[in-house]
A and B are shown apart, each in its own frame.
Chain A
């Protein structure tokens, strides 16, 4: 211990204190301050960038889920529309077929009626024609048969023969 105290040099102590203090102040002003400041700024910028990336990621996530939701909605809507369309089509088809059936029946009915009427008319016509023809024939026959006397006499005779006088 006393050896150490003997070795202790006050002059060196003073020089060391002076040099260290000067060094401390110069370094603090020209080196440590800008270095620490720059490190801090850099770290903050890195932190900011990380935060921004995190935010962007969250935004992405949100957008993605939004998209998903929209897509889902669209899909549902499409399904709904398709279902509706199918329903409408079905009902249309049904209506159409019903209509067609009704129409067909009516047409058939009309046709039948018309046919019946025509037939009636035709029959009436035919009867009239037949009657007319019969009259004409009868007239012509009568005219020929009764043209000479002999024939008239014969006919009368026939009549008389047939007609037995009671």
Chain B
């Protein structure tokens, strides 16, 4: 039960984080379309780091 609450919290936190990353990346691409490739790479890496964090927490809690 507590596991599931924890998982929910992790998903909320991860979702906020991913939203921030994605949103900011979109904004920067809109501002500088010529740098889209670099921004995308950086976005994916940060997203992956966040994902690792979230999964780590999920696995530790499960």
Residues from chain A with a CB closer than 8 A to the CB of B60 are: 1
Shortest Cβ distance from B53 into chain A, in angstroms? 15
Q: Does chain A have a CB within 8 A of B59? A: yes
Q: Within residues 1 to 27 of chain A, which ones have a CB less than 8 A from any CB in chain B?
A: 1, 3-4
Residues from chain A with a CB closer than 8 A to the CB of B62 are: 1, 3-4
Residues from chain B with a CB closer than 8 A to the CB of A3 are: 62
Q: Within residues 16 to 42 of chain B, which ones have a CB less than 8 A from any CB in chain A?
A: none
Residues from chain A with a CB closer than 8 A to the CB of B59 are: 1, 4
Chain B interfacial residues counted at CB < 8 A:
4
Contact with A along B42-62 (1 / 0, CB 8 A): 000000000000000001111
Q: Is the interface of A mostly helix, strand, loop or mixed?
A: helix
A1 vs B62: C-alpha distance in the bound complex, in angstroms? Answer: 6
Residues from chain B with a CB closer than 8 A to the CB of A4 are: 59, 62
Interface size class of A (residues with CB under 8 A): under 10
Query: Closest B-chain residue to A3, C-beta based?
Result: B62
Shortest Cβ distance from B59 into chain A, in angstroms? 6
Shortest Cβ distance from A55 into chain B, in angstroms? 31
Query: Closest B-chain residue to A4, C-beta based?
Result: B59
Query: Closest A-chain residue to B58, C-beta based?
Result: A1
Shortest Cβ distance from A48 into chain B, in angstroms? 28
Query: Closest B-chain residue to A2, C-beta based?
Result: B62
Query: Closest B-chain residue to A1, C-beta based?
Result: B60
A4 vs B55: C-alpha distance in the bound complex, in angstroms? Answer: 13
A1 vs B60: C-alpha distance in the bound complex, in angstroms? Answer: 5
Shortest Cβ distance from B2 into chain A, in angstroms? 14
Shortest Cβ distance from B19 into chain A, in angstroms? 28
Residues from chain B with a CB closer than 8 A to the CB of A1 are: 59-62
A61 vs B8: C-alpha distance in the bound complex, in angstroms? Answer: 70
| Top 6 A-B residue pairs of the complex, sorted by shortest distance between their CB atoms | A1-B60, A1-B59, A4-B59, A1-B62, A3-B62, A4-B62
Q: List 7 A-B contacts (CB under 8 A).
A: A1-B59, A1-B60, A1-B61, A1-B62, A3-B62, A4-B59, A4-B62
